[in-house]
Amino acid sequence: MFDLIAFDADDTLWENNALYLRVQDKFKNILASYGIVDPIDQQLEDTEVRNLAFYGYGVMSFTLSLIELGIQLTSGHISTGDISAILAMGKEMITTQVQLYQHAEPALVELSRRYRLVLITKGELTHQLSKIAQSGLRQYFAEVEVVPDKTRAIYAEILAKHGVQPARFLMVGDSLRSDILPVLELGGWAVFVPNNFTWSHERGRLPQDLQDRFLEVEHLGMLPSLLEKFNQEE
């Protein structure tokens, strides 16, 4: 049925956003020392989303957004020491060891025997490649695509590069906004793997008219049997 199956990386194969949330809590503790105790989650997200156009996705963009918001909320009084602490947290995020999800590698082992797999991830090139190398999962993918964003146009370029028609393509990921909706709109298939830690910016709603090529699994360990059953019904 499928000529190409693609996987998202962050929060699909390994933990990612939970790390951001932990750093966000540390940032709140810094702000508390300036008397700022009001919830800042929405303000931070607004700052991050606004900065995507300038810095793209990833740790560097997140770190700069923390510094920007810290300056804004303290009216410029945040100390150089606290800015240094934020920068150190960003560096720690980059060097943190990748934590694979329990079912990730077994699913890839099985599926790579039957399908051509690629990895499609967005973010900073150096950091993403480092995480892929650390993960030990590179061997299961015919190719890795690190892209600045995941849009319908970018997916179309990837499929053209691989000579695959959308109807023969399946994308697996945790983000409705990035992994699911653009692929369905293009005419492909998508498997949604829910994750409680997915960034709210990556969430979305699935229109009724796109649900016929949409599948969902609780975890990646369920994916091989789902595809086997799906193929038998075709």
Mean pLDDT, range 52-73, rounded to an integer: 95
pLDDT value at position 200?
Answer: 60
What is the CATH architecture assignment of 4-15+98-233? 3-Layer(aba) Sandwich (3.40)
pLDDT value at position 196?
Answer: 76
pLDDT value at position 89?
Answer: 97
Query: Which residue has better confidence, 31 or 210?
Result: 31
Domain-wise residue ranges, the chain: 4-15+98-233, 17-95
Is 107 within 8 Å of 79 (Cβ atoms)?
no
Report residue 234's pLDDT band, with 50, 70 and 90 as the boundaries. low
Domain 17-95 is in which class? Answer: mainly alpha
pLDDT value at position 204?
Answer: 67
Q: Output the DSSP codes for 32-60.
A: HTTT--S--HHHHHHHHHHHHHHH-SSHH
Mean pLDDT, range 39-65, rounded to an integer: 93
Report residue 20's pLDDT band, with 50, 70 and 90 as the boundaries. very high
Q: Which of 2-11, 37-46, 196-205 has the lowest mean pLDDT?
A: 196-205
Mean pLDDT, range 216-226, rounded to an integer: 93
Predicted TM-score (pTM) of the model is 0.91
Q: Output the DSSP codes for the chain.
A: --SEEEE--BTTTB--HHHHHHHHHHHHHHHHTTT--S--HHHHHHHHHHHHHHH-SSHHHHHHHHHHHHHHHTTT---HHHHHHHHHHHHHHHHSPP-B-TTHHHHHHHHHTTS-EEEEEES-HHHHHHHHHHHT-GGG-SEEEEES---HHHHHHHHHHHT--GGGEEEEES-IIIIIHHHHHHT-EEEE---TT--GGG-----GGGGGGEEE-SSGGGHHHHHHHHHHH-
Is 159 within 8 Å of 178 (Cβ atoms)?
no
The answer to whether residue 232 scores a pLDDT higher than 80 is: no
Q: Which of 17-21, 63-67, 162-166, 195-199 has the lowest mean pLDDT?
A: 195-199
Q: What is the mean pLDDT of the chain?
A: 92
170-212 pLDDT, tens digit per residue, is 999 999 989 999 999 999 999 999 887 665 655 667 777 778 8
pLDDT value at position 233?
Answer: 63
Residue 6 makes CB contacts below 8 A (sequence gap 6+) with 117, 118, 119, 120, 145, 158, 169, 170, 171, 172
The answer to whether residue 44 scores a pLDDT higher than 60 is: yes
Report residue 231's pLDDT band, with 50, 70 and 90 as the boundaries. confident
The answer to whether residue 229 scores a pLDDT higher than 70 is: yes
